[in-house]
Chains A and B, each alone.
Chain A
Amino acid sequence: DQQVKQNSPSLSVQEGRISILNCDYTNSMFDYFLWYKKYPAEGPTFLISISSIKDKNEDGRFTVFLNKSAKHLSLHIVPSQPGDSAVYFCAASGEGNKLVFGAGTILRVKS
């Protein structure tokens, strides 16, 4: 039962261009949606989040959009930098702060 899905296993983007990572969910009871970034051999680190009552949250080069009717969210990174190359996990928060994660998308930013 995959409540959070990231259908693109990988994405390759040229430096300076926009990276768009997508995520779909099935549970309408989720309160918050979060994006985590993970480098190899390290733990995930929090990137940005959005409340279910909002449709956009921006933090520097990172913007998350939430479309509740479509149960879809996306992370935009602009401009993309080589240091952004990592695995990006979409996660949703429900009861007890328990996070449900997607399978991740590998982002490669080419210089």
Chain B
Amino acid sequence: NAGVMQNPRHLVRRRGQEARLRCSPMKGHSHVYWYRQLPEEGLKFMVYLQKENIIDESGMPKERFSAEFPKEGPSILRIQQVVRGDSAAYFCASSPLHAGNTGELFFGEGSRLTVL
């Protein structure tokens, strides 16, 4: 049973370009979360999605960032017109339909975005 798969693991973009990060949740998991870790900081919640629905996007910057989790295929975090401050590790996590309210999330290995 494969874990949460994220790709690419490393992504380099120039300022103004677009970055697309993909996440395939664990088999049987229908809840996806995106977190961002800036250098020397903890993980900050960005968005929580279920299939075809954004449940909570309270942590997403209002501009340039978007996320989706289509009926088929991986979840995608999209950052348009990247700036240097977007350089960070972006982690995806998933949980099963009913996680028993324990809050346990299963994390991928992260995608490290570097903006030149």
Mask of A77-108 contacts with B, CB within 8 angstroms, 1/0: 00000000000010111101111111110000
Q: Would you call A43 and B95 a contact (CB within 8 A)?
A: no
Closest to A89 in B: B42
Q: Would you call B48 and A96 a contact (CB within 8 A)?
A: yes
What is the distance, in angstroms, from A54's C-beta to the closest C-beta of chain B? Answer: 12
Mask of B47-60 contacts with A, CB within 8 angstroms, 1/0: 01000000110000
What is the distance, in angstroms, from A73's C-beta to the closest C-beta of chain B? Answer: 14
Q: Which residues of B contact A96 (CB under 8 A)?
A: 48, 55-56
B interface, over-half SS:
strand
Number of chain B interface residues as a range = 20 to 34
What is the distance, in angstroms, from A30's C-beta to the closest C-beta of chain B? Answer: 9
User: How many inter-chain contacts with C-beta < 8 Å in the A-B complex?
Assistant: 72
What is the distance, in angstroms, from A33's C-beta to the closest C-beta of chain B? Answer: 8
Q: Would you call A104 and B33 a contact (CB within 8 A)?
A: no
Which residue in A44, A45, A51, A97 is a CB contact (below 8 Å) of B99?
A: A97
Closest to A44 in B: B107
CA distance A32 to B101 in the complex (A): 8
Q: Would you call B107 and A45 a contact (CB within 8 A)?
A: yes
Q: Would you call B104 and A103 a contact (CB within 8 A)?
A: no
CA distance A31 to B48 in the complex (A): 18
Q: Would you call B104 and A46 a contact (CB within 8 A)?
A: yes
Q: Would you call A42 and B109 a contact (CB within 8 A)?
A: yes
Closest to A90 in B: B42
**Knowing A97-B99, A103-B42, A104-B42 touch, does A41 contact B109 (C-beta < 8 A)?**
yes
**Knowing A43-B4, A43-B109 touch, does A93 contact B102 (C-beta < 8 A)?**
yes
Interface, chain B (partner A; CB < 8 A): 4, 6, 31, 33, 35, 41-45, 48, 55-56, 91, 93, 95, 99, 101-110
